[in-house]
Amino acid sequence: MSQPTPASAGVGLRSERGPVLGSVMLGTALIALDATILATAVPSVVSDLGGFAQFPWLFSIYVLAQAVSVPIYGKLADQIGRKPIMLFGIGLFVLGSILCGIAWSMPALIGFRAVQGLGAGAIGPMGMTIIGDIYSVAERAKVQGYVASVWGISSVVGPTLGGVFTDFISWRAIFAVNIPLGVIAAWMLWRNFDESVTATKHKIDFAGAATLAVGTSLIILGLLEGGVLWQWSSPPSVLIFVVGAVVLVLFVIIERHASEPVLPGWAFTRRIFVGVYIAAMAVGVLTLGLSSYVPMFVQEVLGTSALIAGFALAGMTLGWPVAASQAGKIYLRIGFRNTALIGGVFGLVGTASLLLLGPGSSPVQVGLSCVVIGIGMGLIASPTLVAAQAVVGWQQRGVVTATNMFARSMGSAVGTAVFGAIANATLSRHGVVGSGSSHEAGNGAASGVPPLLLSDAVHQVFLGAVVIGVLMLVAIMIIPRRIETAE
Distance of CA 38 to the CA centre of its chain: 13
Q: Which residues pair with 230 in a beta bridge?
A: 226
Please calculate the CA angle 28-413-78 and round it to the nearest 5 degrees: 50
Name the nearest CA neighbour of 53 among 452, 351, 454, 455.
454
Spatial distance between the Cα atoms of 70 and 128, rounded to a whole number of angstroms: 12
Spatial distance between the Cα atoms of 124 and 131, rounded to a whole number of angstroms: 11
Q: Which residues pair with 226 in a beta bridge?
A: 230
Q: Per residue of the chain (487 residues), what is the pLDDT tens digit? A: 444 444 445 666 667 778 888 888 898 888 888 866 887 787 788 878 876 667 777 877 887 788 778 777 776 776 677 889 999 999 999 999 999 989 888 889 999 999 999 999 888 878 877 776 777 655 655 676 677 677 767 767 777 788 788 778 888 888 988 999 999 999 999 988 887 766 566 677 788 888 887 887 788 777 766 666 677 788 888 999 999 999 999 998 998 888 878 777 777 778 888 899 999 999 988 887 787 788 888 888 888 877 788 778 778 877 877 887 777 778 778 888 999 999 999 999 999 999 998 888 889 999 999 999 989 988 898 788 778 877 776 556 667 777 787 788 778 777 777 887 788 778 777 766 544 333 333 333 445 677 888 888 888 999 999 999 999 999 999 998 877 665 5
Q: What amino acid is encoded at 340 in this protein? A: A
pLDDT tens string 374-404: 899 888 987 887 788 777 765 566 677 777 8
Handedness of CA 401, 403, 407, 412 (dihedral sign): positive
Over the Cα atoms of the chain, what is R_g?
Answer: 22
Provide the 8-state DSSP code for 199: P
3-state secondary structure of 105: coil
Name the nearest CA neighbour of 262 among 406, 52, 394, 131.
406
Provide the 8-state DSSP code for 226: B
Domain 16-194+260-478: homologous superfamily in CATH: MFS general substrate transporter like domains (1.20.1250.20)
Domain boundary assignment for the chain:
16-194+260-478, 205-259
CA distances from 11 to 144, 187, 324, 395 (A): 11, 21, 20, 26
Spatial distance between the Cα atoms of 193 and 127, rounded to a whole number of angstroms: 12
pTM passes above 0.75: no
Name the nearest CA neighbour of 94 among 78, 115, 74, 75.
115
| Cβ-contact 389, 397 below 8 angstroms | yes
| Cβ-contact 62, 114 below 8 angstroms | yes
- Judged on CB neighbours under 10 Å (0-12, 13-18, 19+), 484 is exposed
**Helix-strand-coil percent breakdown of the chain, rounded to 5?**
80, 0, 20
| Cβ-contact 369, 298 below 8 angstroms | no
Q: Which residues contact 248 (CB under 8 A, 6 or more apart)?
A: 211, 212, 215, 216, 219
